[in-house]
Amino acid sequence: MPSKIRWGILGAGNIAHSFAKGLLSLPDAGVQSVASRTPDKLETFAAEYGIPVRHASYEALASDPSVDVVYIAVPHSSHYDMIRLCLEHGKHVVCEKPMTYCALRTREAAALARNRKLFLMEAMWTRFFPLMQEVRIRIARGEIGEIRMIQADFGFRADIHPEGRLFDPNLAGGSLLDVGVYPISLFHMLLGKPRQITGFAAMGGTGVDEQAAWVFRYDGGQLAIGSSAVRTSTPHEALIAGTEGSIHIASPWWKPTRMTLRHPGKPDATVEHPLESTGMQYEAAAAMECIRNHRIECPVIPLDESIAIAESMDELRRQWGFVYPMEH
Ligand SMILES: NC(=O)c1ccc[n+]([C@@H]2O[C@H](COP(=O)([O-])OP(=O)(O)OC[C@H]3O[C@@H](n4cnc5c(N)ncnc54)[C@H](OP(=O)(O)O)[C@@H]3O)[C@@H](O)[C@H]2O)c1
């Protein structure tokens, strides 16, 4: 492994910018190459981050021998194909959330990575924020007792663009996969696999869920209640309530820096963790540490957990009768 791990960026869209900027803050990361099907975007992106190698196709990036690990930042519908393309060319992979649009494909992607002994990770960046690491430590120490209930939401109001990735079923659009995956990932991180899931969705004119709400029930009676929306703004909060106290996080999915700990009869305690650069470098650093140590999955978000998260989202879509065109 070279002293700098060499990244390739597949797709030059919105979030790829944040990721590239975050990588520049890591001294042991090199932004080696970028691929975009759009010539203007390719040039602008490469110039902005000083990227030496430019590819006009994703296939060319996957077969670029100067790349160690590929970050995939394309619409959900293409994640599986791109993961496969990169793994088959011997590249380690960090893929934007959700890892794929369904559990079947996520299982296949995980099996391929394991078979090829290559690193694969779902880029659930929220799990890597310093504040979220602190949340895990405090819960493990028993500071709020046993978790009994979680409430979390992620909803924003976007304009309807039928061909955009949020609203087009052909791009695996909809609120559940785009933003619901964040609260659902939090539920899985803190409570594991649910015993039962139930939920409702409001389907919009383009054929995707514009908003949805769900309840997860666990063996010990714990409940996790969440919602997602792409046409309705909601507060963006997470409340983790335990037998001894609770943790409240404002804006948990977008660069959180502060949590409030509440214990009955005591004043609220605020814990702050500043966040550097774009915040995307934390997940990149964790991936690089795994790669350097020859690990093929990241303990913060193991492959079986990405599969379980996909199974939960599949179950909700099954209840709603919501099937993506590529699943037919
Ligand atoms: N972690 C986060 O906070 C976060 C935030 C936003 C999005 N995301 C995830 O990041 C991924 C990309 O989202 P984004 O907001 O960056 O999207 P975006 O701005 O629309 O960019 C997506 C890129 O995908 C490429 N692409 C390939 N096939 C495409 C197709 N059929 N239609 C449209 N674009 C296609 C395009 O790249 P080229 O033209 O350059 O080839 C485009 O620039 C999604 O998985 C999303 O869930 C994560």
Residue-range domain boundaries for the chain: 5-124+280-301, 130-274
Nearest CA owner, ligand 1 atom 42? 13
Nearest CA owner, ligand 1 atom 26? 74
Mean pLDDT along residues 233-252: 98
Pocket of ligand 1 contains residue 100 by CB under 6 Å:
no
Residue 292 has pLDDT above 70, yes or no: yes
Residues in the chain: 328
Pocket of ligand 1 contains residue 157 by CB under 6 Å:
no
Residues 6+ apart with CB under 8 A from 230: 155, 156, 157, 158, 166, 167, 173, 174, 175, 178, 179, 210, 211
Residue 6 has pLDDT above 70, yes or no: yes
Q: How far is the CA of 18 from the centre of ligand 1 (A)?
A: 12
Strand, coil or helix: what is 62?
Answer: helix
Q: What per-residue confidence (pLDDT) applies to 130?
A: 97
Angle between helices 303-320 and 181-191 (to 10 degrees): 120
> Quick one: CA dihedral 286, 292, 298, 303, positive or negative?
positive
CA distance 309 to 303: 10
Residue 1 has pLDDT above 80, yes or no: no
Q: What per-residue confidence (pLDDT) applies to 328?
A: 86
Count of CB atoms situated within 10 Å of the CB of 283 = 25
Q: Are strands 5-10 and 29-35 parallel, antiparallel or unpaired?
A: parallel
**Mean of the per-residue pLDDT values for the chain?**
97
Determine the longest span between alpha carbons in the chain, in angstroms.
Answer: 61
pLDDT band at 46 (very low <50, low <70, confident <90, very high): very high
Encode pLDDT of 188-235 as tens digits.
999 999 999 999 999 999 999 999 999 999 999 999 999 999 999 999
Question: What letter would DSSP give residue 298?
Answer: B
Looking from the CA of residue 254, the nearest atom of ligand 1 is 3
Pocket of ligand 1 contains residue 231 by CB under 6 Å:
no
Q: How far is the CA of 262 from the centre of ligand 1 (A)?
A: 38
Question: Does domain 130-274 sit in CATH 3.30.360.10?
Answer: yes
Residue 267 has pLDDT above 80, yes or no: yes
Pocket of ligand 1 contains residue 164 by CB under 6 Å:
no
Q: How far is the CA of 4 from the centre of ligand 1 (A)?
A: 26
Q: What per-residue confidence (pLDDT) applies to 3?
A: 83
124-to-64, 83, 104, 153, 170 alpha-carbon distances in Å: 26, 16, 19, 16, 23
Q: Which position has the higher pLDDT, 3 or 146?
A: 146
Q: What per-residue confidence (pLDDT) applies to 115?
A: 98
Q: How far is the CA of 196 from the centre of ligand 1 (A)?
A: 32
Residue 304 has pLDDT above 80, yes or no: yes
Pocket of ligand 1 contains residue 61 by CB under 6 Å:
no
Pocket of ligand 1 contains residue 68 by CB under 6 Å:
no
Pocket of ligand 1 contains residue 12 by CB under 6 Å:
yes
Which of 97, 117, 193, 266 is catalytic? The answer is 97
Q: Is 97 a catalytic residue?
A: yes
Mean pLDDT along residues 282-303: 98
Q: What per-residue confidence (pLDDT) applies to 232?
A: 98
304-to-30, 35, 124 alpha-carbon distances in Å: 29, 29, 14
Pocket of ligand 1 contains residue 165 by CB under 6 Å:
yes
Residue 252 has pLDDT above 90, yes or no: yes
Nearest CA owner, ligand 1 atom 27? 74
Q: How far is the CA of 244 from the centre of ligand 1 (A)?
A: 42
Pocket of ligand 1 contains residue 11 by CB under 6 Å:
yes
One CATH from 3.40.50.720, 1.20.1050.10, 3.40.50.920, 3.30.160.270 for 5-124+280-301: 3.40.50.720
Q: Determine if the pTM surpasses 0.85.
A: yes
Encode pLDDT of 125-174 as tens digits.
999 999 999 999 999 999 999 999 999 999 999 999 999 999 999 999 99
Looking from the CA of residue 74, the nearest atom of ligand 1 is 24
206, 167 contact by CB (below 8 A):
yes
Give the CA count within 13 Å in the CB-facing half-sphere of 49.
27
> Quick one: CA dihedral 124, 126, 128, 133, positive or negative?
negative
Residue 2 has pLDDT above 80, yes or no: no
Residue with tokens 């409940």: 223
Q: How far is the CA of 97 from the centre of ligand 1 (A)?
A: 11
